[in-house]
Amino acid sequence: MTAPFSWIRPEPWGIHIVPADAWVDPARAVPRALVTHGHADHARGGHGITIATPETLAIMKLRYATAEGAQPVAYGETVSIGGGVTATYLPAGHVLGSSQILFEHAGERVVITGDYKRVPDPTCAPFQVTPCDIFITEATFGLPVFTHPPIGEEIGKLLDARAENPDACVLVGAYALGKAQRVIAELRATGHTDTIWLHGAMEAMCRLYEEHGVALGDLKLVSDATKDDMRGHIVIAPPSALNDRGSRRLPDPITAMASGWMRVRARARQRGVELPLVISDHADWNELTRTIREVNPQETWITHGREQALLRWCELSQRRARALALVGYEDEDD
């Protein structure tokens, strides 16, 4: 008889599933990794065996050229990972292929969320509330000040800016994995059928989404356009390209950025963003607290962001909680 939950051990570089000698989203190369999703702070190349959803494995193959040792697991599928531990992959609603992982061992259930959100996203399967004993949640936006507005409002601002400036283009900075495709799919959902122009760095990931059944409509590359082609249009580029030389090819761009951090005015100003769009693929404060209430675990472990405020909220709601000190998790994917 071992101590309860001694089989799951948070280390600074990842969560160790001890009896199986496997790691969740490890920050260094390991013999066996279970990966929740394709963002760079969770998925790294060089593992011996990588267990993940087929979509995440496809993203990792594209980004990190890790084709070897790939072991696909579909949503809802349970696999034995050795040492009497099973892992079940469940949708997290964060980006294409993103998953929570439910671990079961000796009658104990632990869910690791990876990154997640609760609002609908046309590019990925919705988060599934799963009962468990220990719930390990991210807390990227774990402060009460972070409330994300409905995405329809933000997409409306983008469309208005475009309509008001027919001779210019609106250049939207968006992360290449997840945010870019979600913004495009939400634009399409409003009936926007015009060509959307893409920075070259977005092309492969958009194609991968389409191959996995996410229709993105008419996309063309900025490098194939003249200035006049792009007037009155929307252009999507990685945040790093917002102010670079390439944007001089564009017709008088109005600079926008889609990120949860756009709630913080100083961040928008710092990046020279004229049109901040508060669009996040992470749960905001209300989604985090609602999710903990709905999952209703015996214990909540908090990681990956602003742990202290959520820890305090748990204490005030008479919920057992602890903050984990994992390293290497940056907001590539906000």
> To the nearest whole angstrom, how small is the minimum distance from the Cβ of residue 329 to Zn ion?
5
* Residue 119 or 159 having the CB closest to Zn ion: 119
* Residue 56 or 247 having the CB closest to Zn ion: 56
* Residue 39 or 263 having the CB closest to Zn ion: 39
Specify the 3-state DSSP secondary structure of 60.
helix
Q: Which span sits near Zn ion by CB under 5 A: 14-22, 115-123, 193-201, 252-260? A: 115-123
> To the nearest whole angstrom, how small is the minimum distance from the Cβ of residue 44 to Zn ion?
12
Instruction: Provide the b/e sequence for 238-252 (b: ≥16 CB within 10 Å).
Output: bbebbeeebbeebbe
Count of other CB atoms within 10 angstroms of residue 31: 11
Q: Which span sits near Zn ion by CB under 5 A: 37-45, 151-159, 163-171, 239-247? A: 37-45
- Does position 121 interact with Zn ion (CB under 5 A)? The reply is no
Q: Which span sits near Zn ion by CB under 5 A: 38-46, 76-84, 181-189, 213-221? A: 38-46
Distance of CA 128 to the CA centre of its chain: 15
CB 254 within 8 A of CB 233: no
What CA–CA distance (Å, rounded) separates 172 from 257? 5
What CA–CA distance (Å, rounded) separates 257 from 139? 22
Q: Which two tokens stand for residue 297?
A: 């675990």
* Residue 196 or 326 having the CB closest to Zn ion: 326
The β-bridge relationship of strands 320-323 and 170-173 is: unpaired
Q: Which two tokens stand for residue 222?
A: 């900025």
> To the nearest whole angstrom, how small is the minimum distance from the Cβ of residue 178 to Zn ion?
7
Q: Which span sits near Zn ion by CB under 5 A: 13-21, 32-40, 180-188, 312-320? A: 32-40
DSSP bridge pairs for 101: 89, 112
Q: Which span sits near Zn ion by CB under 5 A: 33-41, 146-154, 164-172, 307-315? A: 33-41
The β-bridge relationship of strands 8-11 and 14-17 is: antiparallel
CB 194 within 8 A of CB 163: no
- Does position 115 interact with Zn ion (CB under 5 A)? The reply is yes
> To the nearest whole angstrom, how small is the minimum distance from the Cβ of residue 42 to Zn ion?
6
The β-bridge relationship of strands 234-237 and 170-173 is: parallel
Query: What sign for the dihedral angle of Cα 98, 100, 105, 107?
Result: negative
- Does position 333 interact with Zn ion (CB under 5 A)? The reply is yes
- Does position 44 interact with Zn ion (CB under 5 A)? The reply is no
Specify the 3-state DSSP secondary structure of 133.
coil
Specify the 3-state DSSP secondary structure of 217.
coil
Place of tokens 């939400």: 186
Here's the x/- map for Zn ion, 73-112, by CB under 5 A: it reads as: ----------------------------------------
**Which one of residues 32, 39, 44, 105 is an interface residue with Zn ion (CB under 5 A)?**
39
Specify the 3-state DSSP secondary structure of 209.
helix
Place of tokens 């390209």: 241
* Residue 32 or 39 having the CB closest to Zn ion: 39
* Residue 210 or 332 having the CB closest to Zn ion: 332
Binders of Zn ion among residues 173 to 232 (CB under 5 A) are none
> To the nearest whole angstrom, how small is the minimum distance from the Cβ of residue 54 to Zn ion?
18
Here's the x/- map for Zn ion, 275-314, by CB under 5 A: it reads as: ----------------------------------------
- Does position 162 interact with Zn ion (CB under 5 A)? The reply is no
* Residue 133 or 332 having the CB closest to Zn ion: 332
Which residues here bind Zn ion, judged by CB under 5 A? 39, 41, 115, 333
